Chains A and B, each alone.
Chain A
Amino acid sequence: MSASAIATSRVCPATGRRIFRQAEGLIRANAVVAVVSLLIGAIAALLLVLTRWQAVHLLPATWYYRLLGVHGMNMLIFFIIYFEMAVLWFAATVLLNARPAAPRFGWFNFGTMLVGTLMVEWAQWSGNADVLFTSYPPLKAHPVFYLGVILFAVGALLVTAQFFATLVIAKRERTYEGSVPLVVYGAITAAIIAVITLVHGALVYIPTFLWSIGLTGPVDPQVYRMLWWALGHSSQQINVAAMVAIWYMLGGLTVGAVVLNEKVSRTAFVLYILFISMASAHHLLVDPGFSPAWKIVNTSYFMYMAVLASMVHGFTVPAGIELGMRLRGFTSGLFGWLRRAPWGDPGFSSLVLSVIVFGFVGGITGVTLGTEQINIIAHNTMRIPGHFHSTVVSGTALAFMGATYYLLPLIFRRKVAFWPLARIQPYLFSGGLLLLVMGMTFAGSFGVPRRHWDISFSQAPFDVPFNPAVDLFLAVMGIGGILAVTGALIFIAIAVKSVFFGEPVHDIPRGAPVRGLPAGLTNPPVHAANVDEINEQLHAPARGIAGATPGTLVLVAVFLLAFMLYYFTNWKLLSFLWKIG
């Protein structure tokens, strides 16, 4: 280690990793802007859910549609991607003990993204971009809106390039031995998908921008939809990869989850890179521009190879937790490892709730709604936001929140503020979202449209008398939404208080629980002394297929049955419709 490296870095007292100050600064800046975006998005969310709850119907039409655009951009693009930039910097530098590549250029790119963000915010709040998040032409926004998105995407693309450059530095300077950790491998996956995504963003927004300033002719609306979703959906696949990487990270930090088999987990990540981008076709299943063959090949992620990858992670993550717990001596029964798990550690509860809601609700509904024909009874109904709030919000956002509870002491070196609230925050957030998602999904099954100001159709020429049950579902959605926003605001309050006014952490005491420090730091998960012996016993051939992780096998069996039931129920519902073909 050179003298200059020692002067510009510190060693983490908890993990022993070398943390470079310039990387730390970039991680912090991105995380702070991510939280500010989350705040804007959460306030919009509250107003939107109180409008869609037909009994409340708060906002006027103009502001409903305007804030819907604001909510989409801040949550799905700004919050998520800023946080992912922080994750990329964290994975490449902290996890690999490496210095960041060209940190000043990193600040320049961060500035570019920030300028783009401010341009988009201005266009949306001032009513110059009432085209919603998707901005489908021929609807036209102010050129500043498109230019803002382009700047943001270019900045993010260049940060991704710096991430790859940092990997090269780490390899050259031999800051780690062997292959990169699985968490970094997941982050690399996310970064590769980010490149695919952001290039599509440029492909779609540059012609649209030129059209908006009158330089070129109209953009074909169908081509736009195809390219836009290669940005819009693929950006959510960056989330999936980043989220799974964080699952592995939180598993390791909170309970000492082990990697069962590197080959299996890494192959699953490669399947994401190869096939998950095709998921953007799910938005085009009932579009006029594409043939059934095109739709089937793409919607199936080329025969569901990306779904296979998620199902693999859906096994290896809980199984890794189970084996990690068993190796620490929690070996009783099928689910003793779950009973003895640190449920009061917000990092752990975020991890588990994220896995469960993402898999059971988001995954199952996503694959089902994304089936070519079943999409007929789902497209543009509330079933769609019902699906993606369980993936992106209760899955990805919650995983990011769980990671934040560890990043606060480790990177910001502050205790987690409002600690008792932090311990319940994941439950409140996830529980609220579950209600929201259920309400939306069932309302959508009755044909309630998404992105619609008034389903009482009071100003429409013909009445549309929805089943009275819809009022109940929308009330459930409303209450769930209020709870979820409360959970998000608690998270924001914790993050802001901790970062700006929090109690500094100089050293992390071991052994006894400390208020404001997650249990995984004060009581690091240490495997039993006879770990190899237990491991040997757990993998004994006599234990059969159940092997070392019988509890997880039961859980995934329940998952598969739920999946089959939901999937075939939807085919049955479809078969009752008119004949269409």
Chain B
Amino acid sequence: MLTKVHTGLDPVPGVWWKPAHKAEKVWVAIAFAWCMVLFAMMPLWHYRGGQNPAGVRGKVDPEAFYARTQEFAAQYQIGADRGIPIVKPPPGADVYLVGLTYSWYPILQLEAGKEYMLHISSKDVNHGFSLFPLNVNFQVVPGYDYALRVTPTTSGDFRIICNEFCGIGHHMMVGRVIVTDGDGTPVADNPNAQVESGGPQ
């Protein structure tokens, strides 16, 4: 059952298709079983888990998406912060967020525990949606509408960092998401946050 002793530098004479030793067979079997676990976890999480990058995806004209976002912002605007509208859509609504060099538009005010359909896209180049401090990340591609069912489970004052290089001002691109608790009051979960909120609370 033994193979002739040789290194990986030596040509192999004759037939090398020979049975492996038990130790190798056992390891291959264990590794294969582990790979099956790795594989099964992904479909399983779609059934049982609460966090999936599935959503509803479609192509969209970047200008049309931007126009739709502006319409949405005008419809539900309740204030403004640094010139960016603060928008409070009703629970269950379609919510639009667009990345444009170098800002996120608009500022969203959501209610904890309610589900929203969050559409994300870009007006110009690739951007990266990174919700701080939760560390939730999605790629934002111009021409593609990524609609995710989102239920904020924690309230607070959140940031959206752009984490895909989008040009020389990439590091200035930060947006804001406010999540209010059941009473409708925004909760700053972060004592260091010093955000001037221009709109009504």
Given contacts A62-B168, A258-B6, A373-B49, contact A305 B35 (CB under 8 A): yes
In angstroms, Cα B85 to Cα A213, docked, is 39
What total of chain B residues lie within 8 Å of the partner, measured CB to CB?
100
Given contacts A304-B39, A579-B150, contact A547 B142 (CB under 8 A): no
Which of chain B's residues have a CB closer than 8 A to the CB of A248? 7-9
Which of chain B's residues have a CB closer than 8 A to the CB of A462? 82, 159, 174-176, 195
A380 touches B139 (CB 8 A): yes
A373 touches B53 (CB 8 A): yes
In angstroms, Cα B51 to Cα A292, docked, is 12
Nearest B-chain residue to A453, judged by Cβ: B171
Which of chain B's residues have a CB closer than 8 A to the CB of A375? 53, 137
Given contacts A380-B139, A381-B135, A452-B163, contact A304 B38 (CB under 8 A): yes
Nearest B-chain residue to A577, judged by Cβ: B51
Which of chain A's residues have a CB closer than 8 A to the CB of B115? 579
Q: Is B161 an interface residue (CB 8 A)?
A: yes
Give the segment of A111-119, A230-238, A283-291, A490-498 that binds chain B.
A283-291
Which of chain B's residues have a CB closer than 8 A to the CB of A316? 24
Which of chain B's residues have a CB closer than 8 A to the CB of A307? 35, 38
A256 touches B7 (CB 8 A): yes
Q: Is A259 an interface residue (CB 8 A)?
A: yes
Which of chain B's residues have a CB closer than 8 A to the CB of A173? none
Given contacts A181-B11, A292-B52, contact A465 B192 (CB under 8 A): yes
Q: Contacting B35 at CB < 8 Å: which of A186, A289, A304, A466? A: A304
Given contacts A181-B11, A535-B5, contact A580 B51 (CB under 8 A): yes
In angstroms, Cα B193 to Cα A581, docked, is 29
Q: Is B154 an interface residue (CB 8 A)?
A: yes
Which of chain A's residues have a CB closer than 8 A to the CB of B100? none
Q: Is A527 an interface residue (CB 8 A)?
A: yes
Which of chain A's residues have a CB closer than 8 A to the CB of B137? 286, 375-381
B52 touches A367 (CB 8 A): no
Nearest B-chain residue to A139, judged by Cβ: B125
Bitwise, A265-281 to B at CB < 8 A (1) or not (0) is 11000000000000000
In angstroms, Cα B175 to Cα A311, docked, is 42
Given contacts A381-B130, A461-B103, A462-B176, contact A563 B34 (CB under 8 A): yes
Give the segment of B40-48, B71-79, B88-96 that binds chain A.
B40-48
In angstroms, Cα B8 to Cα A252, docked, is 6
Given contacts A261-B3, A546-B23, A553-B27, contact A371 B42 (CB under 8 A): yes
Q: Is A257 an interface residue (CB 8 A)?
A: yes
Q: Is A167 an interface residue (CB 8 A)?
A: no
In angstroms, Cα B136 to Cα A237, docked, is 28
In angstroms, Cα B21 to Cα A74, docked, is 43
What total of chain A residues lie within 8 Å of the partner, measured CB to CB?
127
Q: List 19 A-B contacts (CB under 8 A).
A: A65-B165, A130-B168, A181-B9, A220-B143, A221-B125, A251-B8, A288-B146, A315-B31, A371-B41, A373-B53, A378-B137, A445-B135, A462-B175, A466-B133, A544-B22, A545-B23, A546-B23, A548-B21, A581-B52
Partner-A contacts on B (CB < 8 A): 1-3, 5-14, 16-24, 26-28, 30-32, 34-36, 38-39, 41-43, 45-46, 49-55, 57, 82, 84, 103, 115, 120-121, 124-126, 128, 130, 132-146, 148-154, 159, 161-168, 170-176, 190, 192-195
Partner-B contacts on A (CB < 8 A): 15, 61-62, 65, 95-96, 130, 132, 134, 136-139, 176-183, 186, 220-222, 225, 245, 248-249, 251-253, 256-266, 284-292, 295-296, 299-300, 303-305, 307-308, 311-312, 315-316, 319-320, 324, 327, 367, 371-373, 375-381, 445-447, 449-455, 457, 459-467, 527, 531-532, 535-536, 539, 544-549, 552-553, 556, 560, 563-564, 567, 571, 574-575, 577-581
